[in-house]
Protein backbone atom coordinates (compact mmCIF):
# COMPACT_ATOMS: atom_id res chain seq x y z
CA UNK A 1 0.00 0.00 0.00
CA UNK A 2 1.31 3.44 -0.91
CA UNK A 3 2.26 5.63 2.04
CA UNK A 4 0.34 8.90 1.85
CA UNK A 5 3.20 11.01 3.23
CA UNK A 6 5.83 9.63 0.84
CA UNK A 7 7.32 11.67 -1.99
CA UNK A 8 5.05 11.14 -4.98
CA UNK A 9 5.75 12.27 -8.53
CA UNK A 10 2.93 12.53 -11.06
CA UNK A 11 4.49 12.97 -14.50
CA UNK A 12 1.98 14.73 -16.70
CA UNK A 13 0.10 16.36 -13.81
CA UNK A 14 -1.38 19.04 -16.10
CA UNK A 15 -2.91 16.55 -18.53
CA UNK A 16 -6.31 14.89 -18.25
CA UNK A 17 -5.16 11.66 -16.54
CA UNK A 18 -2.32 13.18 -14.49
CA UNK A 19 -4.47 15.99 -13.11
CA UNK A 20 -7.16 13.45 -12.20
CA UNK A 21 -4.57 11.37 -10.32
CA UNK A 22 -3.48 14.50 -8.41
CA UNK A 23 -7.14 15.20 -7.53
CA UNK A 24 -7.51 11.63 -6.28
CA UNK A 25 -4.27 11.80 -4.26
CA UNK A 26 -5.51 15.03 -2.67
CA UNK A 27 -8.89 13.46 -1.98
CA UNK A 28 -7.17 10.56 -0.22
CA UNK A 29 -4.86 12.90 1.71
CA UNK A 30 -1.58 12.13 -0.12
CA UNK A 31 1.22 14.63 -0.70
CA UNK A 32 1.64 15.77 -4.32
CA UNK A 33 4.58 18.16 -3.99
CA UNK A 34 7.70 17.16 -5.85
CA UNK A 35 11.12 18.75 -5.81
CA UNK A 36 13.56 17.92 -8.57
CA UNK A 37 16.39 17.26 -6.12
CA UNK A 38 14.38 14.72 -4.08
CA UNK A 39 13.89 11.12 -5.05
CA UNK A 40 10.22 10.14 -5.32
CA UNK A 41 9.24 6.77 -3.88
CA UNK A 42 6.16 6.50 -6.07
CA UNK A 43 5.81 7.61 -9.69
CA UNK A 44 2.61 7.88 -11.74
CA UNK A 45 3.80 8.13 -15.33
CA UNK A 46 0.82 9.77 -17.05
CA UNK A 47 2.79 12.15 -19.28
CA UNK A 48 2.45 11.58 -23.02
CA UNK A 49 2.09 13.22 -26.41
CA UNK A 50 -1.54 12.44 -27.23
CA UNK A 51 -4.08 13.22 -29.92
CA UNK A 52 -6.92 11.85 -31.99
CA UNK A 53 -6.85 10.05 -35.33
CA UNK A 54 -5.83 13.10 -37.40
CA UNK A 55 -3.03 14.15 -35.03
CA UNK A 56 -1.64 10.60 -34.97
CA UNK A 57 -1.71 10.25 -38.75
CA UNK A 58 -0.09 13.65 -39.34
CA UNK A 59 2.84 13.07 -36.97
CA UNK A 60 3.59 9.33 -36.78
CA UNK A 61 7.33 9.78 -36.21
CA UNK A 62 6.79 12.51 -33.59
CA UNK A 63 4.26 10.42 -31.66
CA UNK A 64 6.60 7.43 -31.58
CA UNK A 65 9.81 9.32 -30.77
CA UNK A 66 8.38 11.75 -28.21
CA UNK A 67 6.48 9.07 -26.28
CA UNK A 68 9.23 6.48 -26.36
CA UNK A 69 11.89 8.98 -25.28
CA UNK A 70 9.72 10.42 -22.50
CA UNK A 71 8.70 7.10 -21.00
CA UNK A 72 12.10 5.38 -21.30
CA UNK A 73 13.86 8.31 -19.63
CA UNK A 74 11.28 8.57 -16.84
CA UNK A 75 11.12 4.82 -16.13
CA UNK A 76 14.90 4.44 -16.29
CA UNK A 77 15.46 7.43 -13.98
CA UNK A 78 12.91 6.05 -11.51
CA UNK A 79 14.73 2.70 -11.49
CA UNK A 80 18.17 4.31 -11.15
CA UNK A 81 17.00 6.37 -8.19
CA UNK A 82 15.41 3.52 -6.26
CA UNK A 83 11.74 4.31 -6.91
CA UNK A 84 9.65 1.97 -4.76
CA UNK A 85 6.74 1.66 -7.19
CA UNK A 86 5.97 3.05 -10.63
CA UNK A 87 2.69 3.03 -12.49
CA UNK A 88 2.92 3.45 -16.26
CA UNK A 89 -0.19 4.76 -18.03
CA UNK A 90 -0.74 3.51 -21.54
CA UNK A 91 -3.72 3.00 -23.80
CA UNK A 92 -6.02 0.22 -24.95
CA UNK A 93 -4.83 0.96 -28.51
CA UNK A 94 -1.86 -1.34 -27.78
CA UNK A 95 -4.15 -4.28 -28.56
CA UNK A 96 -4.58 -5.68 -32.08
CA UNK A 97 -7.03 -3.97 -34.40
CA UNK A 98 -9.16 -7.08 -34.73
CA UNK A 99 -8.79 -8.41 -31.17
CA UNK A 100 -11.78 -10.47 -30.04
CA UNK A 101 -14.25 -8.64 -27.79
CA UNK A 102 -14.08 -8.34 -24.88
CA UNK A 103 -10.28 -8.01 -25.23
CA UNK A 104 -8.04 -10.11 -23.00
CA UNK A 105 -4.50 -9.24 -21.95
CA UNK A 106 -3.08 -12.26 -23.77
CA UNK A 107 -4.20 -10.72 -27.10
CA UNK A 108 -1.24 -8.32 -26.89
CA UNK A 109 1.17 -8.69 -29.84
CA UNK A 110 -0.85 -11.46 -31.50
CA UNK A 111 -1.79 -9.56 -34.68
CA UNK A 112 -1.69 -6.23 -36.51
CA UNK A 113 -2.24 -2.91 -34.74
CA UNK A 114 -4.63 -0.21 -35.93
CA UNK A 115 -2.66 1.75 -38.55
CA UNK A 116 -4.06 5.17 -37.59
CA UNK A 117 -2.29 5.12 -34.20
CA UNK A 118 0.33 2.41 -34.69
CA UNK A 119 3.25 4.69 -33.75
CA UNK A 120 1.66 5.70 -30.44
CA UNK A 121 0.70 2.09 -29.70
CA UNK A 122 4.24 0.83 -30.34
CA UNK A 123 5.65 3.44 -27.97
CA UNK A 124 3.17 2.43 -25.25
CA UNK A 125 3.93 -1.28 -25.79
CA UNK A 126 7.63 -0.47 -25.35
CA UNK A 127 6.97 1.27 -22.03
CA UNK A 128 4.86 -1.63 -20.78
CA UNK A 129 7.55 -4.13 -21.81
CA UNK A 130 10.36 -2.09 -20.25
CA UNK A 131 8.48 -2.14 -16.92
CA UNK A 132 7.94 -5.89 -17.31
CA UNK A 133 11.62 -6.52 -18.08
CA UNK A 134 12.83 -4.39 -15.15
CA UNK A 135 10.58 -6.43 -12.89
CA UNK A 136 11.97 -9.68 -14.25
CA UNK A 137 15.63 -8.62 -14.24
CA UNK A 138 15.81 -6.43 -11.14
CA UNK A 139 12.76 -7.35 -9.06
CA UNK A 140 11.14 -3.91 -9.29
CA UNK A 141 7.44 -3.40 -8.67
CA UNK A 142 6.46 -1.45 -11.80
CA UNK A 143 2.94 -1.88 -13.11
CA UNK A 144 1.13 -0.81 -16.26
CA UNK A 145 -2.44 0.39 -16.68
CA UNK A 146 -4.01 0.48 -20.16
CA UNK A 147 -7.23 2.47 -19.90
CA UNK A 148 -9.94 2.62 -22.52
CA UNK A 149 -11.22 5.86 -24.13
CA UNK A 150 -11.28 8.55 -21.43
CA UNK A 151 -13.28 11.74 -20.96
CA UNK A 152 -13.50 14.42 -18.29
CA UNK A 153 -11.89 17.62 -16.94
CA UNK A 154 -8.76 18.93 -18.71
CA UNK A 155 -9.56 17.07 -21.91
CA UNK A 156 -8.51 18.45 -25.30
CA UNK A 157 -11.30 19.97 -27.41
CA UNK A 158 -9.18 20.82 -30.45
CA UNK A 159 -11.25 20.69 -33.68
CA UNK A 160 -9.04 18.06 -35.36
CA UNK A 161 -6.64 16.72 -32.68
CA UNK A 162 -9.06 15.67 -29.94
CA UNK A 163 -10.34 12.22 -28.98
CA UNK A 164 -13.86 11.02 -29.75
CA UNK A 165 -15.88 12.29 -26.73
CA UNK A 166 -14.49 15.87 -26.65
CA UNK A 167 -14.70 15.99 -30.46
CA UNK A 168 -18.40 15.07 -30.31
CA UNK A 169 -19.08 17.52 -27.46
CA UNK A 170 -17.43 20.32 -29.44
CA UNK A 171 -19.40 19.53 -32.60
CA UNK A 172 -22.72 19.37 -30.76
CA UNK A 173 -21.98 22.57 -28.83
CA UNK A 174 -20.95 24.49 -31.95
CA UNK A 175 -24.03 23.23 -33.80
CA UNK A 176 -26.26 24.46 -30.98
CA UNK A 177 -24.53 27.85 -30.75
CA UNK A 178 -24.68 28.33 -34.53
CA UNK A 179 -28.23 27.04 -34.94
CA UNK A 180 -27.13 24.13 -37.14
CA UNK A 181 -29.70 21.32 -37.31
CA UNK A 182 -27.32 18.43 -38.10
CA UNK A 183 -23.85 17.26 -37.11
CA UNK A 184 -21.58 15.12 -39.28
CA UNK A 185 -19.52 12.48 -37.46
CA UNK A 186 -16.69 10.38 -38.89
CA UNK A 187 -17.10 6.69 -39.67
CA UNK A 188 -20.09 4.48 -40.30
CA UNK A 189 -21.01 3.80 -36.66
CA UNK A 190 -19.86 0.18 -36.67
CA UNK A 191 -16.72 0.39 -34.42
CA UNK A 192 -17.36 -0.32 -30.75
CA UNK A 193 -16.00 2.12 -28.17
CA UNK A 194 -15.85 1.87 -24.40
CA UNK A 195 -15.65 5.06 -22.32
CA UNK A 196 -14.36 5.72 -18.81
CA UNK A 197 -14.60 8.90 -16.73
CA UNK A 198 -11.05 10.07 -15.96
CA UNK A 199 -11.60 10.52 -12.19
CA UNK A 200 -12.77 6.89 -11.98
CA UNK A 201 -9.51 5.89 -13.68
CA UNK A 202 -7.56 8.04 -11.19
CA UNK A 203 -9.29 6.29 -8.28
CA UNK A 204 -8.25 2.92 -9.71
CA UNK A 205 -4.68 4.15 -10.35
CA UNK A 206 -4.16 5.44 -6.80
List the catalytic residues. Answer: 120
Residue 100 vs residues 105, 110, 178, 192: alpha-carbon distances, Å: 11, 11, 41, 12
Q: Which helix (H) or strand (E) holds 138?
A: helix 118-138
C-alpha distances (whole Å) from 41 to each of 77, 87, 196 are 12, 11, 28
Residue 192's alpha-carbon distances to 18, 97, 102, 160, 175, in angstroms, are 26, 12, 10, 21, 25
Cα(first)–Cα(last) distance of the chain, in Å?
10
Amino acid sequence: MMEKNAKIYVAGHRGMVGSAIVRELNRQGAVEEFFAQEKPEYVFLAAAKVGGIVANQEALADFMYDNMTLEMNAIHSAWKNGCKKLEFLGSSCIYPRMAPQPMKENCLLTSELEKTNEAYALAKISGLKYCEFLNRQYGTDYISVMPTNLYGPNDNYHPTHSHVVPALIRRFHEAKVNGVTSVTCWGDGSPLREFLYVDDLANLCV
